[in-house]
């Protein structure tokens, strides 16, 4: 009889069943639609696991998933490690050859702050509003990092919103891009940037890390790892470290990141009306970020003869490299021989740095 | 509300200033790196 009393089956609630369905939907999207499978698959499974009653997987101090979450995310280890890998994967050439495109990455952060303001007006606390706004930066690790610091109760919802919208970039961005540009603008062919020397690429991560951290110290954990990863890449003398940061380490931390996020989404925390608002606000942030990048590109064109294709501005949304690929696709639809991918990578990478700076500013003010 | 407005203004200007400084860094970095000697075959 004791055995039957300890069965989890008897403690299942309708909320848990609902969360299993959400978990299964994410797994379905990951497998059949290939929507961010590296993240959505472990997140989906983590959701199912954490909503199995009496399993104690998220029991503070005891549960296995709690340990992953506590030491990986609460201790701020995993997001910086992801940034190490991202840095090792990033080629800054596009940004270094056309530095003016960096401002498009800044413009895309407007969506973050507009959404922050709206979320606060809707009754969320300043910390929660900042965490919701950062979804517009379209940078998963930064969203998680900021949520863990400012509003851990929103971590699961904001992370899933960020990764879901990043997966949906090919659906969300093109209508906005077409709405805000004319056919002639979409056909603008940009002048090829200069060749960037290896020495320039080697110096950049060192100088950039020092300058950004001096300006926004709260961004240090993410920027430091991002630039160190890039230094591994550009130094050409630590190929083993570079390769590990890009592949093995990145893959390992991705497993723990995904399952930990999923594990935070238990029915009691997740099934609230605020979560629906978070998803809507996150989408809104994404759309404003896309639009503001495009509009700044159009504005910059008023003052320069070396025109920027405004579509490139949309890549300031830092979903790397998906946003840049979408720019290439929409540009090619207007002019088959217009290759925008390399140009779009500039604002795309600037967007990553911009989002980290935005998060650093939030932390320095609100923490 | 006043605090939110302040964060809004500081945040947007902070991001633009941060990336503008990075723009200058890229320019200086280019000067520091100079021209690389042609690699011999």
User: CA–CA separation, A51 vs A210, rounded Å?
Assistant: 44
Residue with tokens 């980290």: A356
> In chain A, what percentage of residues exceed pLDDT 90?
76
Whether the Cβ atoms of residue A158 and residue A143 lie closer than 8 Å to each other: yes
CB A50 within 8 A of CB A264: yes
Q: A229: closest CA among A237, A221, A220, A241?
A: A241
Cα dist. A257→A166, A228, B24 in Å? Answer: 16, 21, 35
Q: How many other C-beta atoms lie within 10 A of the C-beta of residue A215?
A: 17
Say how many domains are in chain A. 1
Domain that holds residue A212: 2-366
How many angstroms separate the CA atoms of A195 and A92, rounded?
Answer: 12
**Angle (deg, nearest 10), helices A220-235 and A198-215:** 170
Q: Confirm if A69 and A250 have CB atoms less than 8 A apart.
A: no
> Residue A119: what pLDDT?
95
pLDDT tens string A263-274: 988 898 888 888
CA distance A100 to chain B (A): 7
How sure is the predictor about A349, in pLDDT bands with cuts at 50, 70 and 90?
A: very high
Quote the tokens at residue A210: 């020092």
Q: Please state the rounded mean pLDDT for residues A248-275.
A: 90
The SS3 call for residue A116 is helix
How deeply is A238 buried, as exposed, middle or buried, from its count of CB atoms within 10 A (0-12, 13-18, 19+)? middle
- Provide the shortest C-alpha distance from residue A123 to chain B (in Å): 11
d(CA A347, CA B23): 12
Sign of the Cα pseudo-torsion (A5, A44, A290, A89, in order): positive
What pLDDT does A1 receive?
65
Calculate helix-pair angle for A322-334, A341-366, nearest 10 degrees.
Answer: 140
* Out of A117, A211, A212, closest to residue B8 by CB: A117
As a whole number, the mean pLDDT across chain A is 92
Over residues A47-105, the pLDDT tens digits come to 999 999 988 898 999 899 999 999 999 898 999 999 999 999 999 999 999 999 999 99
Across the interface, of B8, B14, B23, the residue whose CB is closest to A357 is: B14
- Please report, in tens digits, the pLDDT of each residue of chain B (41 residues total): 888 999 999 999 999 999 999 999 999 999 988 776 555 54
Cβ-based contacts of B8 with chain A (< 8 Å): 113, 116-117
For A121, A124, A317, B12, the CA distances from A117, given in Å and listed in that order, are 6, 10, 19, 12
Residues 6+ apart with CB under 8 A from A1: none
A100: which chain B residues are within 8 Å (Cβ-Cβ)?
23
- A43, A258 in Cβ contact below 8 A? yes
Residue environment code for A89-117, b if the CB has 16+ CB neighbours within 10 A, otherwise e: bbebbbbbbbbebbbbbbbbbbbbbbbbb
Q: What is the model's pLDDT at position B37?
A: 57
């Amino acid at each position: 009889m004791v055995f039957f009393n300890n069965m989890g089956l008897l403690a299942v609630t309708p909320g848990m069943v609902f969360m299993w369905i959400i978990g299964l939907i994410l797994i379905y999207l990951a497998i059949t639609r290939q929507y961010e499978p590296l993240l959505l698959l472990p997140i989906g499974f983590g959701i199912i696991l954490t909503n199995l009653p009496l399993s104690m997987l998220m029991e503070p101090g005891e549960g296995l998933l709690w340990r992953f979450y506590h030491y990986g995310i609460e201790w701020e280890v995993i997001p910086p490690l992801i940034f190490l890998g991202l840095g090792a994967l990033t080629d800054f050439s596009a940004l270094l050859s056309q530095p003016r495109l960096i401002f498009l990455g800044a413009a895309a952060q407007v969506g973050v702050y507009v959404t922050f303001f709206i979320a606060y007006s809707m009754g969320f606390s300043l910390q929660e509003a900042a965490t919701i706004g950062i979804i517009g930066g379209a940078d998963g690790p930064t969203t998680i990092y900021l949520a863990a610091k400012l509003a851990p109760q929103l971590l699961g919802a904001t992370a899933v919103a960020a990764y879901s919208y990043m997966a949906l970039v090919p659906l969300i961005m093109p209508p906005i891009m077409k709405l805000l540009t004319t056919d002639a603008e979409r056909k603008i062919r940009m002048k090829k940037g200069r060749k960037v020397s290896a020495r320039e690429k080697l110096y950049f991560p060192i100088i950039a890390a020092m300058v950004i951290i001096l300006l926004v110290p709260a961004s240090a954990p993410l920027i430091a790892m991002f630039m160190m990863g890039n230094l591994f890449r550009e130094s050409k003398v630590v190929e083993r470290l570079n390769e590990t940061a890009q592949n093995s380490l990145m893959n390992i931390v991705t497993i723990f990141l995904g399952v930990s996020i999923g594990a935070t989404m238990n029915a009691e925390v997740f099934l609230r009306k605020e979560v629906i608002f978070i998803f809507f606000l996150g989408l809104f942030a994404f759309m404003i970020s896309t639009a503001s990048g495009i509009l700044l590109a159009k504005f910059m064109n008023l003052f320069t003869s070396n025109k920027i294709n405004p579509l490139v501005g949309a890549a300031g949304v830092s979903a790397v490299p998906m946003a840049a690929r979408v720019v290439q696709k929409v540009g090619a639809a207007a002019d088959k021989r217009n290759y925008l991918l390399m140009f779009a990578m500039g604002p795309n990478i600037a967007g990553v740095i911009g989002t980290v700076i935005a998060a650093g500013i939030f932390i320095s003010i609100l923490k | 509300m006043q605090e939110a407005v302040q964060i809004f203004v500081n945040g947007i200007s902070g991001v633009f200033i941060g990336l503008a400084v990075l723009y200058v860094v890229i320019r200086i970095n280019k000067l520091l790196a100079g021209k690389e000697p042609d690699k011999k075959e």
